[in-house]
Amino acid sequence: MERYDQRIAIDTLSSPESIAAALSGLHPADVADALGRAGVDGEILTRILAELDTELAAEVVINLDDHTLEDVLDVLEPPEIAQITSELESDDAADVVGLLDEDKKAHVLSQLDSDDRKAVEDLLQYTDESAGGIMASELVYVNSEASVDDAISLIRLAADEVEEIHNVYITDRARKLIGVLPLGTLLLARKGTRVAEIMEPDVVFVSAETDQEDVAKVFMKYDLVAIPVVDGEGILVGRITVDDIMDVIRDEADEDITLMAGTRDEEIHEDSTLKVSWIRLPWLVIGALGGLASASVMSLYSFSLEKVLALAFFIPVITAMGGNVGLQTSTIIVRGMNADGWLESDVRSRLLREWRIAITNAVVLGVAVFLIVGLWLTDWVLAAIVGGALGTVIVVAATLGTIMPFTLRRLGVDPAVAQGPFVTTLNDVIGILIYLGLATLFLDMLS
C-alpha cells in the first residue's frame, strides 16, 4: 500500500519493449530503482530507455545510481545523451555531462542549443563539492519594482523549466540579490502590490565557492527548502534545492564512515577486483608496516621476553585497548568539530574532559586486569605491570585521539582520518613501547 514499498521486479527475459511498457506509468525514481536492481547490462538498459517517453527517460537517467548511469552513458551515442541532457535542469545536465570523457563531453556539448550549452559549461567550471557544483541556474527572480502579478506571470512562464519553485528571488537592476518572496506569501498577497513591499529583505544565501558541507549546515540551521547562490559581487547566479542537500548530508556521512574503515565509498559499485584491492591496500599496508614496527620494538626487548615469556601474552590486551580508546576519543572530537564547530582553542578544555574520562576508565580497567592476571598467573608483579601499562596506554591513546583531529585539520587533512587505521596503528606501537619499557624497568622483580 505504501508507495515506497513498490519494489517492481523486472522480468529480464522479456523484450525491452514490453519492459518499457510495464514501467511507463511509474514514478521515474521507481523505474530507476527497478532498472538498477535488475542488474541488466548497459546495452539492454539503453534499449529499454529508448522505448520510454524522452522526458520520462531523462528523469529515470538522473535517478539511476552512479554505477548504472555510467554503464548507460558508455553505450549511448552523443546525440542521444544530448537529447536526454536537454530535458534536464542545468544541475542534473551538468552532472551527466561531467561523467563523460573529454571527447564525448565536447561532442555532447556541441549538440546542445546555445542556452543549455552555456548553462552546463558555466556549472562545470565550479568544483564538484562547492555550492556552484550543486546549484541549478534555473530560478525565478524579479526586479524589486515588479508587482505581485508580474511575479506570478513569471512563475507561469518558468513552470515548465524550473522544477520545484519555492521562492521568487528579488533583485535590483544589476541582478544583485536583495530579498526573497516565498510562494505562500505571494499566494496570499493582494493583486497589484509591489514585491518590494512584501519581500523578506533578510535573505539567507551562500556564495558559489562555499563548500557543500557548509551549505548543508546552513540548510539545517535555518530549516530551508532552497537557497539562492551569489557570485563575488552579490549577483544572483543560481539556487540549490533541499533534495540535493539531503544527498550531500548522506554522502558526507558515508564518506566519513568509509574513511574510518580505511576504504572509499566509490568501491561499493566497483566490479573490478584489482581496483577495489587497490583502494583498500594502502590502509592495510599502513597496518602491516605498523605491525612490523611493533615486531621490531618487541625484538629490542627480546631479553625481557625471553626471561619472562608471559609478558608476550598480554600484547594483544594492550594493543586492542589503545586502538579502542583512541577510536572512541577521536570519533567524539571529530563529531564535535563537525557538528558543534569546536576550534583549536577548545583543545585544552576537551583534553581535560577526555583525561577525566580516560583516568576513570584506566583505573577501572587497570585494576580489573591486574586482579585477573594476578589470580590467573599468581605473579603479582607481572599483573601490576600489565595493569599499570594498560592504564597508561588508555590515557596516552585518549590524548592522541584528542590532539590528532585538530592537528590534522591544521595540516589541511580531513580530521576523520584520525578515526582510521593510521592512528590505531600508531597507538599499537606506542602501547607496546610503554608496556615492554615498563616491564624491563621492573624485570628483576619478575619471577
Q: Give residues 60-99 in contact with a second copy (rule: CB under 8 A).
A: 65
| Site for a second copy, residues 103 to 132, rule: CB under 8 A | none
The site map against a second copy for 272-301 (x = CB under 8 A) is -xx-xx--xx-xxx-xx-xxx-xxx-xx--
> What's the min distance (Å) between Cβ of 127 and a second copy?
18
Q: Which of 71, 87, 89, 428 binds a second copy (CB under 8 A)?
A: 428
Site for a second copy in 349-378 (CB under 8 A): 353, 356-357, 360-361, 364-365, 368-369, 372-373
Q: Segment contacting a second copy (CB under 8 A): 49-57, 76-84, 98-106, 258-266?
A: 258-266
Q: How far apart are CA 428 and CA 319, in angstroms?
A: 5
> Cell 613501547 belongs to which residue?
433
> Looking at 22, 27, 211, 308, which residue binds a second copy (CB under 8 A)?
27
Closer CB to a second copy, 16 or 179, in the complex: 179
- Residue (118 or 355) nearer to a second copy, CB: 355
Nearer to a second copy, 385 or 390 (CB): 390
The binder of a second copy chosen from 22, 54, 335, 374 (CB under 8 A): 335
26: cell is 511509474
Residues in region 298-327 near a second copy by CB under 8 A: 298-299, 302, 305-306, 309-310, 312-321, 323-325, 327
Q: Closest separation between CB of residue 298 and a second copy, Å?
A: 5
Residue 151 · residue 171 · CB < 8 Å? no
Question: How many angstroms separate the most distant Cα atoms in the chain?
Answer: 97
Provide, rounded to whole angstroms, the least separation between the CB of residue 26 and a second copy: 10
Among residues 46, 68, 130, 328, the one that binds a second copy under rule CB under 8 A:
328
Cα separation, 242 vs 320, in Å, equals 42
176 makes contact with a second copy (CB under 8 A):
no
57/151 with CB nearer a second copy: 151
Other Cβ atoms less than 10 A from the Cβ of 269: the count is 13
Q: 205 vs 442, which CB is nearer to a second copy?
A: 205
Q: Residue 365: name the closest of 337, 336, 395 by CA.
A: 395
**C-beta of 109: minimal distance to a second copy in Å?**
26
Q: Which of 340, 345, 348, 411 binds a second copy (CB under 8 A)?
A: 340
Pick the closer one to a second copy by CB: 50 or 183. Answer: 183
Nearer to a second copy, 79 or 201 (CB): 201
Q: Helix/strand/coil (H, E, C) string of the chain?
A: CCHHHCCCCCCCCCCHHHHHHHHCCCCHHHHHHHHHHHCCCHHHHHHHHHHCCHHHHHHHHHHCCHHHHHHHHHHCCHHHHHHHHHHCCHHHHHHHHHCCCHHHHHHHHHHCCHHHHHHHHHHHCCCCCEHHHHCECCCCEEECCCEHHHHHHHHHHHCCCCCCCCEEEEECCCCEEEEEEEHHHHHHCCCCCEHHHHCECCCCCEECCCEHHHHHHHHHHHCCCEEEEECCCCEEEEEEEHHHHHHHHHHHHHHHHHHHCCCCHHHHHCCCHHHHHHHHHHHHHHHHHHHHHHHHHHHHCHHHHHHCCHHHHCHHHHHHHHHHHHHHHHHHHHHHHHHCCCCHHHHHHHHHHHHHHHHHHHHHHHHHHHHHHHHHHCCHHHHHHHHHHHHHHHHHHHHHHHHHHHHHHHCCCCHHHHHCHHHHHHHHHHHHHHHHHHHHHCHHHCC
Smaller CB distance to a second copy: residue 44 or 203?
203
Among the residue ranges 74-82, 122-130, 154-162, 170-178, the one whose residues contact a second copy (CB under 8 A): 154-162
* Cβ nearer to a second copy, comparing 310 with 381: 310
Least CB distance from residue 311 to a second copy, whole Å? 9
Residue count at the site for a second copy (CB under 8 A)?
124
How buried is residue 217: exposed, middle or buried, by Cβ count under 10 Å (0-12/13-18/19+)? middle
Contact region for a second copy (CB under 8 A) — 46-54, 119-127, 243-251, 404-412? 243-251
Q: Which stretch binds a second copy (CB under 8 A): 45-53, 74-82, 119-127, 182-190?
A: 182-190
Among 11, 41, 115, 164, binds a second copy (CB under 8 A): 164
Residue among 20 and 327 whose Cβ is closer to a second copy: 327
Interface pattern 186-225 for a second copy (x via CB under 8 A): xxx-------------xxxxxx--x---x-xxxxxxxxxx
